[in-house]
Chains A and B, each alone.
Chain A
Amino acid sequence: MTGEQIVFLVVAFVTLFAGLMVVTTRNLVHAALWLVAALFGVAVTYVILHANFLAVVQVVVYIGAIAILFIFAVMLTRRDMRDQGPQMNKNWWFGAVLAVLTFGGLYFLLQGWEGMTKTATSYPVGFDAISELGNALVSPAGYVLPFEVASVLLVAALVGAVYVAFNPRNGNSGK
């Protein structure tokens, strides 16, 4: 077992454990913080995969913005700061069964695939993945259209979110 495998296993188990805590812990702020841990684990996975840019963007976008938004939302939607009542709905056991079934099904499907045991070729020395990625994102021969569509989606989401969450009763825009 090489060092990389050990690192991967440690990261994977930490991430999965954090993921489990996200969906099971009673305290929602803790759940959000566990989510941060899980997302950080994923970021480390990206580093192992040599996708440095993705790793940093993962930290910036997910941890720096999305997780913080979650914590804000959790705090804004609780009248007092304690969690009461059950955190699982009454069908949770069925959800668990379905999740296990999904995992089993995916595992089963993957097993039959010949690309499964593939190992990566060594990472090319001096390969500048970031310039490649930048070019791919904005060159007409690459993915400029999906990229632009994604940016339009972001703007739409931004406007929509502001509109939906804006409370006209105590908003200060009433001129």
Chain B
Amino acid sequence: MVPLSWYLIFAAALFSIGMFGVLSRRNAVAILLGIELMLNSVNINLAAFWRYGDVHLMAGQVFAIIVFAVAAAEVAVGLALVISVYRSRRTVVADEIDMMKW
């Protein structure tokens, strides 16, 4: 049997990788890719806790599904924003979108 720790460490690693992507990529779409990885790592945790706790309590799976919905919403809005920004500014580099700083 796989111990719970493996899943948690796996998820933590995926989370960190996603976070690196979010912090370091220039392209806004790539930043969103990193966010997806982070959300997925959270879902792994939720599913793992469901399996290793009482399988009759469905909270883990339910919230994994809600995370799916949130991820879908986030991607839809995020990409729409990126495309909208691209249309007006002709760039998707996050560092160059800094009009609103002051």
Q: Identify the A interface with B (CB < 8 A).
A: 2, 4-5, 8-9, 12, 15-16, 19-20, 22-23, 28, 31-32, 35, 38-39, 42, 45-46, 48-51, 53-54, 57-58, 61-62, 65-66, 69-70, 72-74, 76-77, 79, 85-89, 91-92, 94-96, 98-100, 102-103, 106-107, 110, 115-121, 123-124, 127, 129, 132-133, 135-137, 142-143, 146-147, 150-151, 153-154, 156-158, 160-162, 164-165, 167
Contacts and interface: CB of A to CB of B under 8 A. Distances in A.
15 contacts: A5-B6, A15-B10, A15-B14, A23-B20, A32-B33, A49-B51, A50-B51, A54-B47, A70-B29, A73-B79, A107-B9, A118-B3, A119-B3, A133-B58, A137-B65
Contacts of B32: 70
Contacts of A22: 17, 21, 33-34, 37
Interface in B1-31: 1-10, 12-27, 29-30
Contacts of B14: 15-16, 19, 38, 42
Given A87-B27, A99-B19, A4 B2 contact: yes
Contacts of A156: 73
A131 B51 CA distance: 16
